[in-house]
Amino acid sequence: MQSACVVAIGGLDPGGGAGLAADLRGVLAAGAFGCAVIAVVTVQSTSGLRSVRAIAPREVVAQAREVLRHQRVRAIKTGALGSGANVRAVGELLAMHRDLPAFVDPVMTPTRGRGRLLAERAVAEVRRSLLPRATLVTANVPEAEALTGKRVTSVSEAHDAALALCKLGAHAAIVKGGHLSGTHAVDVLALGGEVTEIRSRRLRLPPIHGGGCTFASLVAGRVASDTGSSGDVALLDAIRWAKRAHHRALADARDVGGDMRVLVP
């Protein structure tokens, strides 16, 4: 039985809640096979991040190239990259594989704990090197604000931010509504010059770990495994499917110890 692969490039979370561990669960739940390229090594658990160390860019690229050379890769997903040098190297890798859809989760800070998963000075490099090569960028409110320089305090401002991310080069952009208020969580998607709101009932939840990683990987895995459609139709279908799967996982978030729950879609 053949399976499509998704190369996930991101951080190693030894607690398993976020980063590459969450990516692999999300990709598998979407019907594809996840491949893990380590760009960042962390000391963390479900009680928070303690420290971060970025891997050398040449090692990151070597890991990815080996998988891309030999396996049935149908999509690339990026997460925590640590340094500007890694962002630049991954951007060059995406440029060499323009035939593969690229899903950029612009991870910058942890849900809880010390340190940054992306150096502050590397944010500009994300704009230059990753956004122009992104099939879809999945940003939470703080990430959207950092990338666009615009405040996002309402759904209307999320519309503006999603469109601004596309103007920076992304084919499509989604600004997630988890950090906003209201009875519904509203994700705002900019695609093909149009803005779509994807609503779900807001859940009363304990602190969650790895939610952004999981959502982006669900989308990437669904696109990689979908042989029935292509282009923007497949992308929109994958986003809607991922939103439903993500919502179910949030409602059933697992307690594995520590302060935060984890998602198992």
Confidence of residue 28 (pLDDT cuts 50, 70, 90): very high
Tell me the residue length of the chain: 265
**What would the pLDDT profile of 155-183 be if each residue is shown by its tens digit?**
999 999 999 999 999 999 999 987 676 77
Question: What percent of the chain is modeled with pLDDT above 70?
Answer: 98
Residue 66 in any domain: the answer is yes
Which tokens hold the place of 154?
A: 């309402």
Residue 240 in any domain: the answer is yes
For residue 258, the 8-state DSSP code is S
pLDDT at res. 115: 85
Q: Which domain holds residue 194?
A: 5-254
pLDDT at res. 181: 66
Average pLDDT over all residues of the chain? 95
Residue 265 in any domain: the answer is no
pLDDT at res. 48: 95
Residue 262 in any domain: the answer is no
Whether the pLDDT of residue 10 is over 90: the answer is yes
- What's the number of domains the chain is made of? 1
**What would the pLDDT profile of 80-132 be if each residue is shown by its tens digit?**
999 999 999 999 999 999 999 999 999 999 988 888 999 999 999 999 999 99
Mean pLDDT of 37-41: 98
Residue 245 in any domain: the answer is yes
**What would the pLDDT profile of 197-244 be if each residue is shown by its tens digit?**
998 888 888 999 999 999 999 999 999 998 667 789 999 999 999 999
pLDDT at res. 228: 67
What is the domain-level CATH number for residue 83? 3.40.1190.20
